[in-house]
Structure 1
Amino acid sequence: MSAQEPSQEWSAAAVLAELQVSGSQENRAGMARFGIDASSAFGVPMSVLRPLARRIGMSPQLADELWETGRHEARLLAILLTPPESLAPDRAMAWMEDIRSWDLCDQFANVLARRPGSDQLVPVLVADEREFVRRAGFALMAWRAVHAKTVPDTEFLNYLNLIRAQSTDERNFVWKAVHWALRQIGKRSAALHDPALDLSRQLCESQNKTSRRIGREAQKELSSEKVLTRLKKLPEP
């Protein structure tokens, strides 16, 4: 995506007009089937939003204007138009206050994870009782396991205690993010695989049904031949 500022045509109004003509009722219905609140949506898929974001170019100012519209795809675009370095903790937390959808949550965490120092937000988000804020904490864990390639594995070992502590949260959008984080940590490196797999097995033995479900999902993937083969190919640290 270009780092250039948007041209004059890309005002917030121009972007909304583009989204209006790109949406469809069929896509809105599809969003609803996937558990996305489509009440403020145009019905524009990510396959359209990503190329549009590249056409517009990075712009934190335009991103703020789009976010303030409250429209679903405008907020997805706002995330795509925001450089990771612009997601300072105060701005990140202000946006989190408005998120009520798993796709917004996960796209937001994907960008935030690329910002140095975003690990400091993980315990803050995970400790929050609100469903999508807590989900963002675990999504941030998962995405940092992918994007934060130069940080030491000790960061992710520390996350295992947070995963264990919140593994009893039965809310749909939370437990799915918890096992996502556990799986991504276990796939990050050979050194992290065994601790993550061990936690998965422990959760399988839990008295709590949500913990057992998370453990089973994570253990299945982390024990798979595909994951084990990939880990053997990773370079030594």
Structure 2
Amino acid sequence: MAETTLTDVLAELAALEDPKTREVNERHGDDHGVNLGKLRALANWLKTQQELACRLWETGDTAARLLAILVCRPKAFERDELDVMLRQARRPKVHDWLVSYVVKKNPHSEELRVAWSADPDPVVASAGWALTTERVAKKPEGLDLPGLLDVIEAEMKGAPDRLQWAMNHCLAQIGIEHAEHRARAIEIGERLEVLKDYPTSPGCTSPFAPVWISEMVRRRHD
């Protein structure tokens, strides 16, 4: 396993490339054609290899970067390394996985959350909001929830798509997790109407915050 070279792994990824998968992914802004189940299987076979992960990331290839995220050691990255990586991660899936699988497990996550939330780049800011949403759900102590609602109320409607989505998720999470702020969260969602008409598959919950909040609260009380 230790002798696995970057060339070997890139050849494996090339062999997994499927035009139909690429076509589907490209509709969502992701430029790769590797089935994610097969990508995870390859990662399980490789196991954790931090040096290989760094070299995969440096290729700039989307599938290689997704694999890098799966085989890296999240706590091994310095704060500035993660900041650079996040700014390089322009593809939605790479961005989401980097935040969820690496940054959230890194000791610098709180420092990055604060810095990214205020970043002028909306894609970077969306990562800060994703980390804030995680804290709203799991570790809300010390967060200014009314202050977060103030920012969402003032800025979400006009925010670019990725940032708007992240802020909306935070709004819903505040309403779901914190009963004392639920009425205000629902009221903000109803007034701003962000994602109100978002197409939702049968059996799935709408991302429109008032519906999302009400449905999740109902499920908890059933």
| Fold-level similarity (TM above 0.5) | yes
Q: Describe the SS at the equivalent of 2:81.
A: helix
Partner of 2:203: none
138 and 65 in structure 1: CA distance in 2 versus 1, 3 angstrom threshold: same
Q: Does 1:34 align with 2:22?
A: no
Consecutive unaligned residues of structure 1, counting only runs of 5 or more, are 1-5, 206-210
Deviates further, 106-115 or 157-166:
157-166
Partner of 1:208: none
Consecutive unaligned residues of structure 2, counting only runs of 5 or more, are 197-206
Q: Does 1:109 align with 2:99?
A: yes
Q: Describe the SS at the equivalent of 1:35.
A: coil
84 and 183 in structure 1: CA distance in 2 versus 1, 3 angstrom threshold: farther
Report percent identity of matched pairs.
28
Task: Give the C-alpha shift of residue 154 in structure 1.
Answer: 3.7
Deviates further, 110-119 or 18-27:
110-119
Task: Give the C-alpha shift of residue 162 in structure 1.
Answer: 4.3
- Return the alpha-carbon distance in structure 2 between the equivalents of residues 128 and 67 of structure 1: 23
TM-score normalised to structure 2 length? 0.81
Task: Give the C-alpha shift of residue 196 in structure 1.
Answer: 4.7
Offset from partner CA, 1:76-111 (integer Å, 9 cap, x none): 111122233123321110101211111111111102
Q: Does 1:15 align with 2:1?
A: no
8 and 161 in structure 1: CA distance in 2 versus 1, 3 angstrom threshold: farther
Partner of 2:157: 168
Q: Describe the SS at the equivalent of 1:109.
A: helix
Matching of residues 7-86 of structure 1 within 5 Å? 7-9=2-4, 11-36=5-30, 38=31, 41=32, 43-86=33-76
116 and 126 in structure 1: CA distance in 2 versus 1, 3 angstrom threshold: same
Q: Describe the SS at the equivalent of 1:155.
A: coil
Partner of 2:111: 120
Partner of 2:175: 186
28 and 182 in structure 1: CA distance in 2 versus 1, 3 angstrom threshold: same
CA RMSD of aligned residues (A): 2.5
Deviates further, 73-82 or 170-179:
170-179
Task: Give the C-alpha shift of residue 59 in structure 1.
Answer: 2.2
- Return the alpha-carbon distance in structure 2 between the equivalents of residues 74 and 110 of structure 1: 17
**Contact 1:203 1:214 (8 Å CA) reproduced:** no
- Return the alpha-carbon distance in structure 2 between the equivalents of residues 183 and 202 of structure 1: 10
45 and 185 in structure 1: CA distance in 2 versus 1, 3 angstrom threshold: farther
**Contact 1:200 1:218 (8 Å CA) reproduced:** yes
Deviates further, 97-106 or 18-27:
97-106
Q: Describe the SS at the equivalent of 2:51.
A: helix
Partner of 1:3: none
- Return the alpha-carbon distance in structure 2 between the equivalents of residues 143 and 152 of structure 1: 9
| Pairing partner for 1:93 from 77, 83, 94 | 83
For 1:80, the aligned partner's letter is L
Offset from partner CA, 1:179-235 (integer Å, 9 cap, x none): 122223433x3xx24415513313433xxxxx43158811111112x43341x58xx
For 1:195, the aligned partner's letter is H
- Return the alpha-carbon distance in structure 1 between the equivalents of residues 51 and 45 of structure 2: 16
Matching of residues 177-216 of structure 1 within 5 Å? 177-187=166-176, 189=177, 192-205=178-191, 211-213=192-194
Q: How many residues align?
A: 210
Deviates further, 54-63 or 115-124:
115-124
